[in-house]
Amino acid sequence: MIASFLEAYTAPRREIPRRVYLTVSALVGLGGLLAWCALSYGGLVRSDFLPTPVAVLQAGIDMARDGSLLVNTTASVTEIMSGFIIASLISVPLGILMGSFKIVEAAVEPVTNFVRYLPVSALIPLLILWVGIGIEEKIAVIFIGTFFQQLILIADVSRGVSQDLLDVSYTLGADRRTVVTRVLIPATMPGVMDTLRVTLGWAWTYLVVAELVAGNKGLGYLILNASRGLFTDQIFLGIMVIGLLGLISDQLFKLIRDWLLPWASNP
């Protein structure tokens, strides 16, 4: 029995039955929940360090009732989506050009590689000076956090388009312009979608940094504010909502990719 189990489940990349897959995922999730219950209800960890699951749920219900959960979530989603969409609108075309035209690469790559390694939090004082402490500052943090990474990744996608694919287009009668618009750009689309999906995840990780300054709403603000009063149940709630929204947006992206690019092979 053990031998056949090993035989079936230790082969690299081998598909496993969907049922087994889901069972394993559910078991691990359940295990985590059980460990949490044991630690919190068992009194192994103080309740102001680790809230019980029910306390977190209760905090969620309370905040949903008084409307603050919706207000904070909406504020964060707005910031994330604005920063992310503005960054993507520029990084996608610029990245495609950067990966395929040396002249654009020469202009953009050095400064990108410089800015990309700056910690976003170090730029916050400047951002406050330049754009103030309103929503613009938050959007700017998300933008800076994602834009330069997107640019580098998308340039790589563009660079990776097979030379033979471009060359065969020339031999079919395409001119340069056509090769760019009808071949290079469509060929980058699966890679661009994957990059956007990954960087949207990264955008969420900048949320707390973005709402660090003079916030009065948002999930990051909620967490920071709760930490002042040591309301760990609310901290947990904030973290979980962020995780959940990240998960949902990731799955949405997957669906959109399959829907927009049915011809692309899966990564």
Partner 1 sequence: MGKLRIDNVVLRFTPRMGRPVTALDRISLEVDENEFSVIVGPSGCGKSSLLRLVAGLIQPTAGAIYLDGKLVTRPGKDRGMVFQSYTLFPWLTVQDNLEFGLKLGGMAAEERAAVARRFIAEVGLEGFERAYPKQLSGGMMQRVALARALANDPDILLMDEPFGALDSQTRSLMQELLLKIWEHSHKTVLFITHDIDEAILLGDRVHVMTARPGRIKAEVAIDIPRPRSVGVLTADEFIVIKRRIMALIHEEAVRAMS
Binding residues for partner 1 (CB under 8 A): 162, 164-165, 167-174, 178, 183, 186-187, 189, 261-265
Cβ 29 to partner 1, closest distance in Å?
33
Contacts of 201 (CB under 8 A, 6+ apart): 246, 249, 250
Identify which of residues 168 and 248 has a Cβ nearer to partner 1 in the complex: 168
Cβ 178 to partner 1, closest distance in Å?
6
Cβ 186 to partner 1, closest distance in Å?
5
Cβ 262 to partner 1, closest distance in Å?
8
- Cβ-contact 204, 264 below 8 angstroms: no
Give the single-character DSSP code of 266.
P
Identify which of residues 75 and 187 has a Cβ nearer to partner 1 in the complex: 187
Cβ 170 to partner 1, closest distance in Å?
4
- Cβ-contact 53, 37 below 8 angstroms: yes
Write out 108-140 in H/E/C secondary structure. Answer: HHHHHHHHCCCCHHHHHHHHHHHHCCCHHHHHH
Q: Using CA atoms, how far apart are residues 252 and 192, in angstroms rounded to an integer?
A: 15
Identify which of residues 48 and 167 has a Cβ nearer to partner 1 in the complex: 167
Identify which of residues 98 and 179 has a Cβ nearer to partner 1 in the complex: 179
Identify which of residues 119 and 262 has a Cβ nearer to partner 1 in the complex: 262
Q: Using CA atoms, how far apart are residues 219 and 210, in angstroms rounded to an integer?
A: 10
- Cβ-contact 105, 96 below 8 angstroms: no
